[in-house]
Structure 1
Amino acid sequence: MYTYCNLLVFFCVHLLYLRCTVCTKNELIVTVKQGKLQGATDTLYDGSTYYSFKAIPYAQAPLGQLRFRAPLPPKSWKGTRQATEYGSICAQTDSVFKGSENCLFLNVFTKSLHGRTPVMIYIHGGSYITGSGNDDLYGPKFLVQHVVLVTLNYRLEVLGFLSVETPEVPGNAGMKDQVAALKWIKENIAKFGGDPDNITIFGESVGACSVTHHISSPMTRGLFHKVIAQSGTSIHDWALGEGSKSRAFRVGKYLGRDTKNTTELLEFLRSLPAANLTNLTIATSTDDEMYRGLPGRFLPVVEKKFDNVEAFLSDYPLNTLQSKRIRKFPLVLGYNSAEAITAIKDRLGKLDIYNNNPSYDVPREIAEKLTQEKMNDMGKRIRKFYIGDREYTKDDYKVIVTMLSDLHLVYNTHRFTYLYSKHNSPIYMYRFSFDTDLNFVKKLILGNLDLDLKGACHGDDVFYMFSSNYTKDAYESQQKLKDYVSKVTKLWTDFAKTSNPTPDYCAAPRWPVYTTKNKGYLDINVQSTAGSFAEKQSVEFWDTLYCETGLPCIKNN
């Protein structure tokens, strides 16, 4: 009798185990519009489980004779698609060639397949030249505790941003990839426990340029509800391309086909392996572009109008920003406290060039309106503002970082914020100042350089939001770093949930809403502080230069 009872208990327990196993496996099969997806489980730092669904094809890549065109609708599949490994990244060369053109994948990370959890969609940076949505940099373990997280790939450089100003190749293919991903997410995210009516798009560097371009684009209406722009906006010189058609012909010439015929050029470029169409930014830059501005050149463009062609951008973002056409979204945006540490090594190696040609520090937007003589005078004014009546030396590395940060990021972030706030609220501005062992980019850039530079450089903030193999050891070994990550991710995810990064239940300091009068911001650090008008003196100096040139500026608005 005892043996029989034991066998019966064992049989019942075994059935229960099998039933739970099947339930768990079935729970990881999600049915989207194109078919079934098999996901995988993983574990967060607190021991809880989350689900991942990787390499989901949100669109078909246009290949062969369709190369450079907008993405095609996603195909359905039969059976269950394995979504347990990352797909190919988009073709790029970062010391070596990687990826392929068949790369239009997104990844979804969620703690539950049920309910309606706020969604955050991350658009990666990388100068529109490199990058992907994979977890080498953008691991989900910090953010997915609070939201459904989506990361994605989009076409880059020539393959993503070639424009010959024709209906066939008007430009912005990479941005239209992003739009296709946003549409797919809107239609399917509820299947992963996400709320399609509470979607925040966020990005860093050109990812931030991208999300602020989406504010202006008529293609993205209804696809998201909040925006976070980290170290980038749509009105920076490095956010919008100029002279794209002539650049396309320089691509052909560099690769062996010197022609002024658009059809011949496209036929030639479509005949080449994808690898040949990467790493062409420097090779196709003009002499002026080699020293003025940042290196990205294959960028979003204002498209020419063609019948039956939907444009991603039909007007300059600065025009849209000042008009009633601009759509209104709750917005968080800002910059890091020492952005241009990323540029200091290169700049110190070219001091003679910049000392002899001060006009190279005049932004492209201004330079296009000035004679060479006036550009030289303005370049000298810029230098005088930072160091007085002398030339830069290597001992000026700290002030050079400040100047380059102001030139490339700080001023135009303030200008964008001010202009947008005239039509929209709430806006929350920040300066990110953390300087810890999570500042991976800064450590990588400075390396063995004997430079005493404090603060957070371009890209350092990413490691306070995303788990990464590059900072894994530091994070796991230092409790204070875990606390800092928790602090930053709470700000970001509270905004995604409530449109307020410091809701009523949060402890002080409260993050002030930015207005044209108070210019409020939060300095995000170990001890965060609220303030008014960050970098006031330098912002007012640069604003004077823009106003004098007749460009939209803060003082004249």
Structure 2
Amino acid sequence: MVTVGSYLSKNCRSIHKLATMNNPVVTVKQGKVRGSTLSLVDGSSCYSFKGVPYAQPPIGLLRFKAPESPQKWQGIYEATKHGPSCPQIPSPMSSIGEEDENCLFLNIYTKTLEPTSKLPVMVYIHGGAYMSGCGDSEMYGPDFLLQHDVILVTINYRLEVFGFLCLNTREVPGNAGLKDQVAALEWVNKNINQFGGDPDNVTIIGESAGASAVTYHMLSPMSKGLFHKVIAQSGTCIDDWSIQRDSVARAIRCSKLLGKETEDVNEILNYFRSLPSKDIVGLTLKSRIEDEKYRGLSIFFAPVVEQKFEGLQSFLTEEPLDILLSGKYNKVPLLIGYNSAEGLFMLMLQLKKAALYNKHVKYLVPREIALKLNEDKMIEFGEKIKKFYVGEKGFGEETAREIIDFQTDMHFIYNTHRFVNFYRASNQPIFTYRFNYETDLNAIKNLIDTPCKGASHADDLFYLFCNNVNKKAYQERDNLKQIVFKFTKMWTNFAKVSNPTPDQSLGVTWHPTSTGKEYMRLEEPLSFGACPELGRVTFWNQLYCDGGATHMPRSSL
């Protein structure tokens, strides 16, 4: 017999359970945090915790300094909307909402809140040339990855001057943005079990500047033990564009641009701290010297080799290549690769500069080599590059395909191969790929009016994350759903068991590379075999060798 009391008790429990599902409350080290539920594109739902602070606001005297541990709060912290992004210049790749220097927030998406679930955790570090972007779901929606029983964490970190000003002083040694990322990983390590995650199975994943960041974490003692696998998409820490040189000289130029002429770094620090944030946004392009306007990518507020200061923990105190060659790094399984036509996103800009490059071939030489050459040698090397890619035709509309290949090789492909070659000494499994899908999901390529084949830089993101750009095409096309499922299945398999194809469910086996030459070809159909760009990689390796730069042994090619 059902009594009124038992009926009310049963229904009260049901109502309480429903309320808990819709407004989940989790206890973390800093206090209680309330999230919400998020409807996913496949009809399922997940728990969402947005805008959770992982460090103290880096404002006032904390501007430019390493992040401080987050403070505890009273009551329940409402985590139902994203926190502000770091102040930045607008970017076509980012849909940025509120901006504020108080930007050190992360977002968590999970289908369970049972601490015993121990789901693998994927922490995504966004790209954007170290000067734009954020971790918001407007770009990095969790829908595709959460099909596979993982937890996704996305983060904001300080950008450009806010995150990468370096004065070579104890107060501002540099790399604040990377130290923000470490602080986020520390927060995940201490709290993710409360969201159903396994703190002992954390994969850091990044694209472009985010890929260079995750490979920096592989080299930093500060990051040791905070992650267990790495996925690097289109970037490494040994790329020209991923390291800052002459940081104090740049700070002096910036100070002059903003109205204060001084070479005293303490005066510069005090002056920069006195300025509103809007005044110090966008200094990357404004602070370029003449050579930087034409050589390489315009990324200059970036990670830096820090000076050592007694009692102060550093993120990086040696050249990335030296650490990589020494073997003194965090040895973890690695999944790494590039898109087949990365340079597509630069094509329009390169065509505008074509006449200049035809006349001044010295600017074709990468910075790492150029630093070792005199003017005549630089011209000689530039002629070699020009001849290899376009012969007597020169750079222009007729050689658009060759321009794309040149940019792809110089900024992405060669250094991916070089990083893999040196990291093989770790004896960790390395899974290499070449992304070559061409569908309606290739949002970047589809914006560019060109018949050239291949996947552009950042096209892979629209197969990994759901957003307003790709959602409609994904929902309407079953074949796109299948491609996305396969792609995210491989990524999450790696996060789970360090192997993207642990069984035959995808109809292909992705072997770890043994020579650095074998790549998974991510296209229709999936296939595993030799990298098609090896001839171009060999050309660049010889160029680095002839230029006195660190290169791969010839026997490895």
Give the 3-state SS of the residue equivalent to 2:355 in structure 1. Answer: helix
Name the CA distance, whole Å, in 1 between partners of 2:480 and 2:248.
47
Contact 1:91 1:97 in 2 (8 A): no
Q: How far off is 1:25 after superposition?
A: 3.3
Contact 2:438 2:455 in 1 (8 A): yes
Residue 182 to residue 75, structure 1, CA distance change in 2 (3 Å) = same
Partner of 2:405: 402
1:324 aligns with 2:327: yes
Name the CA distance, whole Å, in 1 between partners of 2:74 and 2:502.
46
Name the CA distance, whole Å, in 1 between partners of 2:32 and 2:318.
40
Q: Cα deviations across residues 242-292 of structure 1 (Å, max 9, x unaligned)?
A: 111110111111111111111111111101111111111110011101111
Partner of 1:477: 476
Aligned AA (2:108):
V
Q: Cα deviations across residues 144-164 of structure 1 (Å, max 9, x unaligned)?
A: 222000000000000110001
Partner of 1:138: 140
Name the CA distance, whole Å, in 2 between partners of 1:20 and 1:228.
41
Name the CA distance, whole Å, in 1 between partners of 2:495 and 2:183.
21
Partner of 1:495: 494
Aligned residues: 546
Q: How far off is 1:389 after superposition?
A: 3.1
Name the CA distance, whole Å, in 1 between partners of 2:152 and 2:97.
28
Q: How far off is 1:554 after superposition?
A: 1.3
Partner of 1:459: 458
Partner of 1:543: 541
Name the CA distance, whole Å, in 2 between partners of 1:266 and 1:73.
23
Residue 17 to residue 48, structure 1, CA distance change in 2 (3 Å) = farther
Aligned AA (2:32):
K
Q: Which region of structure 1 is more displaced relative to structure 2, 137-146 or 297-306?
A: 137-146
Contact 1:97 1:275 in 2 (8 A): no
Give the 3-state SS of the residue equivalent to 2:285 in structure 1. Answer: coil
Contact 2:221 2:330 in 1 (8 A): no
Name the CA distance, whole Å, in 2 between partners of 1:162 and 1:68.
7
Q: How far off is 1:11 after superposition?
A: 7.6
Aligned with residue 25 of structure 1, among 16, 19, 34 = 19
1:185 aligns with 2:188: yes
* Percent identity of paired positions between Structure 1 and Structure 2: 48
Q: Cα deviations across residues 424-475 of structure 1 (Å, max 9, x unaligned)?
A: 320000000001111111123x1xx3x2122110001011010111111111
Contact 2:164 2:175 in 1 (8 A): yes
Show the 5 A alignment for 1:81-160.
81-94=77-90, 99-114=99-114, 115-146=117-148, 147-160=150-163
Contact 2:106 2:154 in 1 (8 A): yes
Contact 2:221 2:329 in 1 (8 A): no
Give the 3-state SS of the residue equivalent to 2:179 in structure 1. Answer: helix
Aligned AA (1:328):
K
Give the 3-state SS of the residue equivalent to 1:121 in structure 2. Answer: strand
Contact 1:237 1:365 in 2 (8 A): yes
Q: Cα deviations across residues 400-446 of structure 1 (Å, max 9, x unaligned)?
A: 101110011110110001110122320000000001111111123x1
Name the CA distance, whole Å, in 1 between partners of 2:257 and 2:506.
58
Partner of 1:486: 485
Partner of 1:68: 64
Q: Cα deviations across residues 357-384 of structure 1 (Å, max 9, x unaligned)?
A: 1111101000000001101110110011
Contact 2:243 2:303 in 1 (8 A): yes
Name the CA distance, whole Å, in 2 between partners of 1:15 and 1:171.
59
Q: Which region of structure 1 is more displaced relative to structure 2, 91-100 or 154-163?
A: 91-100
Give the 3-state SS of the residue equivalent to 1:282 in structure 2. Answer: helix
Name the CA distance, whole Å, in 2 between partners of 1:284 and 1:552.
29
Residue 401 to residue 13, structure 1, CA distance change in 2 (3 Å) = farther
Residue 42 to residue 62, structure 1, CA distance change in 2 (3 Å) = closer
Aligned with residue 285 of structure 1, among 285, 288, 291 = 288
Contact 2:486 2:506 in 1 (8 A): no
Give the 3-state SS of the residue equivalent to 1:165 in structure 2. Answer: coil
Partner of 2:226: 223
Name the CA distance, whole Å, in 1 between partners of 2:442 and 2:197.
31
Residue 98 to residue 366, structure 1, CA distance change in 2 (3 Å) = farther
Greater than 4 Å deviation, 4+ residue runs:
8-15, 95-98
Q: How far off is 1:98 after superposition?
A: 5.4
Name the CA distance, whole Å, in 2 between partners of 1:345 and 1:386.
18
Aligned AA (1:552):
T
Q: How far off is 1:390 after superposition?
A: 4.0
Aligned AA (1:547):
C
Q: Which region of structure 1 is more displaced relative to structure 2, 44-53 or 281-290?
A: 44-53
Name the CA distance, whole Å, in 2 between partners of 1:85 and 1:498.
32
Contact 1:329 1:424 in 2 (8 A): no
Partner of 2:173: 170
Partner of 2:41: 45
Q: Which region of structure 1 is more displaced relative to structure 2, 63-72 or 216-225?
A: 63-72
Name the CA distance, whole Å, in 2 between partners of 1:205 and 1:11.
60
Give the 3-state SS of the residue equivalent to 2:342 in structure 1. Answer: coil
Q: How far off is 1:14 after superposition?
A: 5.5
Name the CA distance, whole Å, in 2 between partners of 1:213 and 1:312.
9
1:233 aligns with 2:236: yes
Residue 485 to residue 97, structure 1, CA distance change in 2 (3 Å) = closer
Residue 492 to residue 142, structure 1, CA distance change in 2 (3 Å) = same
Q: Which region of structure 1 is more displaced relative to structure 2, 85-94 or 331-340?
A: 85-94
Give the 3-state SS of the residue equivalent to 2:50 in structure 1. Answer: strand
Contact 2:240 2:367 in 1 (8 A): yes
Give the 3-state SS of the residue equivalent to 1:179 in structure 2. Answer: helix
Aligned AA (1:530):
F
1:258 aligns with 2:258: no
Residue 131 to residue 509, structure 1, CA distance change in 2 (3 Å) = same
Q: How far off is 1:13 after superposition?
A: 5.2
Name the CA distance, whole Å, in 1 between partners of 2:71 and 2:81.
19
Give the 3-state SS of the residue equivalent to 2:386 in structure 1. Answer: helix
Give the 3-state SS of the residue equivalent to 1:340 in structure 2. Answer: helix
Aligned AA (2:237):
S
Q: How far off is 1:118 after superposition?
A: 0.4
Name the CA distance, whole Å, in 1 between partners of 2:44 and 2:137.
19
Aligned AA (1:25):
A
1:272 aligns with 2:275: yes
Give the 3-state SS of the residue equivalent to 1:289 in structure 2. Answer: helix
Aligned AA (1:480):
N
Q: How far off is 1:117 after superposition?
A: 0.4
Q: Which region of structure 1 is more displaced relative to structure 2, 154-163 or 262-271?
A: 262-271
Aligned AA (1:464):
Y
Residue 204 to residue 526, structure 1, CA distance change in 2 (3 Å) = same
Q: How far off is 1:49 after superposition?
A: 2.3
Contact 1:237 1:293 in 2 (8 A): yes
Q: Cα deviations across residues 202-221 of structure 1 (Å, max 9, x unaligned)?
A: 00000000000000001011
Aligned AA (1:69):
K
Show the 5 A alignment for 1:260-409.
260-409=263-412
Contact 2:142 2:152 in 1 (8 A): yes
Name the CA distance, whole Å, in 2 between partners of 1:43 and 1:13.
31
Give the 3-state SS of the residue equivalent to 2:441 in structure 1. Answer: coil
Contact 2:125 2:207 in 1 (8 A): yes
Name the CA distance, whole Å, in 1 between partners of 2:445 and 2:230.
26
Q: How far off is 1:533 after superposition?
A: 3.4
Q: Which region of structure 1 is more displaced relative to structure 2, 294-303 or 526-535?
A: 526-535
Name the CA distance, whole Å, in 2 between partners of 1:255 and 1:216.
35
Name the CA distance, whole Å, in 1 between partners of 2:277 and 2:476.
42
Q: How far off is 1:9 after superposition?
A: 7.8
**What is the TM-score normalised by the length of structure 1?**
0.95
Aligned AA (2:530):
S
Aligned AA (2:438):
D
Q: How far off is 1:355 after superposition?
A: 0.6
Name the CA distance, whole Å, in 2 between partners of 1:527 and 1:200.
27
Q: Cα deviations across residues 21-80 of structure 1 (Å, max 9, x unaligned)?
A: 212434611000000011111222333221011111000122112210001110100111
Aligned AA (1:232):
G
Q: Which region of structure 1 is more displaced relative to structure 2, 191-200 or 380-389?
A: 380-389
Aligned AA (2:377):
K
- Which consecutive residues of structure 2, in runs of 5 or more, have no partner in the other structure? none
